[in-house]
Amino acid sequence: MEEKTLISRGQFWVIVFMYVFANDLIRGFYAEELTNNLWIPIIIGAVGGVLIYFVYTLLFRNVSGIDFGDTVTHVVSKPVCYILFLVYPLYFLCLVFFNLRDIYEVVNIFLVQEVKLLWFSLLVLALLFYLLSKGVEVFARFTTMLFYITLFIFVSFSGLIMSFNRIHLNYIFPILEYGFGPVIKPAFLMSYAIPFGELFALFGIYQYVKQKDKNYRYGVYGLIMASVVLLLITLMNIIILGPVAMTIDIHPSLRITRRIEFAVFVQRFDIIVINVMMVLIIIKLAVLLSTTKYMLNYVFKLKKPNILLIASLLIVFGICLFAPKNYTLLLDFRIKYIIRYVNLIFEIIIPFLLVLVPSEERNQHQKKRYDDFED
């Protein structure tokens, strides 16, 4: 590995939770067709996300590679591994750009109007460079600290929302008025894309977990915990605001937070939520960029891997320069093409092929486990 430090299973749990929670930012676009039934595909999608994560872990559990790159090399050979490790960074940088635009739009609309995209991007990317240059151990400690703050804010705000608003349980009905058909496709999309997907990048961090062959389940704990939080936010939106309100705004947390009326002198709780969203997005971007840096360094093996990180950040900044400024157009493109097809290829098809491709070492490992069981 490029880094000698390791992170604990609890830190990986926290990183997974924050990474998935960051997807709350724009997941409201599913509500347009599902309305009051949105909570059903969330449950199904969360289960699907857990199953996909389990498939990913088979790479580490069945092949005794030293790190992520060696594990993939054992499965598909070094040339194919190099090709994958050159293509995947492009995919991750694409996700970095879209997530950066998501949080920029929120900040520009609700927090600081007329802020320039280029200045905002430059500031966030500089912060990411500083954070990642400190190494995975510092990143894990930083994320753990922010996790407790985020959890406290979520619990506190949920209590205030439930206390100061009338609850309408009848808003949940009718349940599955048109059967299971309309919820199957969104549930599948949720499992490998937003909000419970895009998990393959996490394995650039997972390789640093102590005793990763045994502690893979802690990623599941983080995913389940984030799923419960996202489900609760969805249910609060439905039973308080109603199903129609769900279709107006794609930001579920911001929408429901505006219903807090604590005191005359305490207003705009949504500002706190926006700052939490920024923290979550920065953590997600850090994971994506960390894995990008690792993959590129595995291929090029530079003595100063931060050069590759700088190059990656410059590519993202360049995309921000030349990409369309119309956010609605970008979001529509992302929903129609990135989520449906690009995410499917990089989160399902390629990883599943890596797991299914037979390798001599995997067969030996499975034979040894069978012999041990027979003994």
Would you say residue 53 lies in a domain? yes
> Is 372 within a domain?
no
CA distance 96 to 290: 11
Residue 65 confidence (pLDDT)? 52
Within a domain: residue 375? no
Q: Which pLDDT belongs to residue 1?
A: 46
pLDDT at 61: 76
Query: Is the entire prediction scored with pTM above 0.85?
Result: yes
What pLDDT does 9 receive? 92
Task: Give the range of the structural domain holding residue 313, as residue numbers without chain letter.
Answer: 9-367
- Residue 111 domain-assigned (yes or no): yes
pLDDT, tens digit, 9 for 90 and up, residues 246-298: 777 778 888 888 777 765 545 577 888 889 999 999 999 999 999 999 999 99
* Residue 290 maps to a domain: yes
**Dihedral sign (CA 141, 142, 144, 145):** positive
For 114-164, how does the pLDDT look when each residue is reduced to its tens digit (9 = 90+)? 889 999 999 999 999 999 999 999 999 999 999 999 999 999 999 988 888
CATH of the domain at 46: 1.20.1740.10
Residue 3 within a domain: no
User: CB–CB of 251/26 below 8 Å?
Assistant: yes
Could you write out the three-class secondary structure of 185-237? HHHHHHHHCCCCCCCHHHHHHHCCECCHHHHCHHHHHHHHHHHHHHHHHHHHH
CA atoms of 89 and 94, how far apart (whole Å): 8
Residues contacting 262, CB < 8 A, separation 6+: 160, 164, 269
For residues 74 and 66, give the distance between their C-alpha atoms in angstroms, rounded to a whole number: 10
How far is residue 54's CA from residue 47's CA, in Å, rounded to a whole number?
11
Contact 217, 229 (CB under 8 A): no
Residue 369 has a pLDDT of 46
Q: Total domain count for the chain?
A: 1
The 8-class DSSP code of residue 193 comes to: S
The parts of the chain modelled with pLDDT lower than 70 are 1-5, 62-66, 262-267, 358-375
Contact 12, 215 (CB under 8 A): yes
Residues whose CB falls within 8 Å of the CB of residue 43, separated by 6 or more in sequence, listed in order? 227, 231
Assess if residue 270 is contained within a domain. Answer: yes
Dihedral angle over CA of 103, 186, 45, 340, nearest 10: -70
Do the domain assignments include residue 1?
no
Task: State residue 264's pLDDT score.
Answer: 52
Contacts by residues 145-153 (CB-CB < 8 Å, ≥ 24 positions apart): 146/18, 146/279, 146/283, 147/14, 147/17, 147/18, 149/279, 150/18, 150/21, 150/276, 150/279, 150/280, 153/272, 153/273, 153/276
The total of other beta-carbon atoms located within 10 Å of residue 210's CB is: 12
Tell me which residue of 265, 292, 267, 278 sits closest to 129, measured CA to CA.
292
Structure tokens, 296: 């590129």
- Please check whether residue 89 is in contact with residue 312, taking contact to mean a CB–CB distance below 8 angstroms: yes
